[in-house]
Amino acid sequence: MTIAIIGAGMAGLSAARDLTARGQSSVLFDKGRGPGGRMSSRRMETELGLIRFDHGAQYFTVSDPAFGEAVATWECDGIVAPWRGKLVTIDRDGLARPLGVRSRFVGQPGMSALIRHEAADQEVHWSSRVVAIDNGPSGVALRLENGVTAGPFEKVIVATPAEQAAELLHHAAPELAAQARAVRSAACWTLMCLFDNPLPVDWDGARLETGPLGWVARDGSKPGRVRVESWVLHASPDWSRRYIDLPREEIGATLLTAFQALATAPAPNLSSLHLWRYARSGCHQDAAPGWSHDARLGICGDWCADGRIEGAWKSGKEVVRAACPAL
Ligand SMILES: Cc1cc2nc3c(=O)[nH]c(=O)nc-3n(C[C@H](O)[C@H](O)[C@H](O)COP(=O)(O)OP(=O)(O)OC[C@H]3O[C@@H](n4cnc5c(N)ncnc54)[C@H](O)[C@@H]3O)c2cc1C
């Protein structure tokens, strides 16, 4: 019987690919219209042509040797490339320091390319939001938002952000739901801007220690992008939480004003605002990829690890080991 996976982001796809490698069939359901999750790229048709903004994850780093091997393969296939932009931290006094010398990788031509690549040979049902999980004697069934029931499946892996996992697992696996409920994800207001001319800053990305912005990046400086002056501005987690309910126009205006002061920027040619409600989960001591034999349900996702892309990838592998020890 097939194993179903809810969520086709990095974690869910990592699990699916591991199952495929072990000869076990799987099927993924994702509420998104296409590949990306929090590694999405926003496409915008402009007078300069089609431009992509990495409005979620910015780049990823590698610590784990197994993940390093996967990254090397993706690099060989041209799916990812190192981002050699000049990155800095800007402190409260406005002083810029280099942000360390780790290799940073990005998908090309956008972050979502990696998810698209990983999903290519998997059975993924997009625009398929799961609203409930029913585990009965014949297996685990998924109720979709459109009224359809999928399954029953032999086992189900939930690979969504923690808050969404807690909701889905509430009745079917209360102990896993409790683990997910203990995690609080931080929100992130994101503004994408396109300027007519290069801005007068000598860095391509900056972490900011004060003010509404936490991170800004010259998206067009990443490999494989159209060479335009496109910027992604992320509000800090504290600021995003505090102003999550503020009208969007006020959010956009405040973030833009802060960036204009930082980078001596004029009015952008184009801008667009996005709210990531469950952006980053950080490191949670008690959260780990988990498996309930009784419920035939498991959890994975970045929140079960280090809150980053590498952690999401590893968590998918770990939950498969727990779910299918005999494979
Ligand atoms: C603004 C921002 C900046 C970031 N910057 C970085 C960075 O620089 N470096 C880094 O390593 N990480 C970064 N991250 C974190 C990184 O994006 C995540 O760690 C990683 O993408 C998580 O993968 P995942 O598969 O666990 O979750 P996701 O990518 O969120 O995938 C979960 C999937 O589940 C789907 N889903 C949710 N609920 C349901 C449902 N009920 N039914 C069906 N489908 C559902 C969603 O559509 C989604 O596709 C950033 C994230 C954000 C938002």
pLDDT digits (tens, 9 = 90+) for 63-104: 999 999 999 999 999 999 999 999 999 999 999 999 987 899
User: Residue 43 domain-assigned?
Assistant: no
Q: Output the CA 307–ligand 1 centroid distance in Å.
A: 9
For residue 325, give the CATH number of its domain.
Answer: 3.50.50.60
For a substitution probing ligand 1, which of 17, 143, 160 has the most ligand atoms within 8 Å of its CB?
160
Q: Give the pLDDT mean for 224-241.
A: 97
What is d(CA 242, CA 239) in angstroms, rounded to the nearest whole number? 5
Range of the domain at 29: 1-33+126-183+283-327
Q: Give the pLDDT mean for 42-56.
A: 93
Per-residue confidence band for 233, with pLDDT thresholds at 50, 70 and 90 = very high
User: Residue 38 domain-assigned?
Assistant: no
Q: Which residues line ligand 1 (CB under 6 A)?
A: 6-12, 29-32, 37-39, 56-60, 129-130, 159-161, 164, 168, 188, 190, 234, 276, 279-280, 301-302, 307-309, 312
Q: Give the pLDDT mean for 277-283.
A: 87
Instruction: Kindly tell me if the per-residue pLDDT of 139 is higher than 80.
Output: yes
Q: How many CA atoms lie within 13 A of 262 on its CB side?
A: 32
For residue 269, give the CATH number of its domain.
Answer: 3.90.660.10
Helices (DSSP H) in 85-129: which residue ranges? Answer: 112-119
Per-residue confidence band for 283, with pLDDT thresholds at 50, 70 and 90 = low
Does residue 325 or residue 210 have the better pLDDT? 210
Q: What is the pTM of this model?
A: 0.97
CB 128 within 8 A of CB 6: no
Q: Using alpha carbons only, what angle is made at residue 314 by residues 313 and 318, rounded to the nearest 5 degrees?
A: 125
Q: Give the pLDDT mean for 27-48.
A: 95
Last-in-domain residue among 263, 280, 297: 280
Rg of the chain's alpha carbons, rounded to an integer?
20
Cis peptide bond prior to 109, omega within 30° of 0: yes
Q: What are phi and psi of 69, to 5 degrees?
A: -65, -40
How does strand 155-158 pair with strand 297-299?
A: parallel
What's residue 101's pLDDT? 77
Q: Give the pLDDT mean for 203-210.
A: 97
> Given the CA of residue 303, which atom of ligand 1 is nearest to it?
26
What's residue 216's pLDDT? 98
Q: Are both 96 and 132 inside the same structural domain? A: no
What's residue 48's pLDDT? 85
Q: Output the CA 195–ligand 1 centroid distance in Å.
A: 28
**Tens-place pLDDT, residues 159-201:** 999 999 999 999 999 999 999 999 999 999 999 999 999 999 9
Q: Are both 69 and 166 inside the same structural domain? A: no
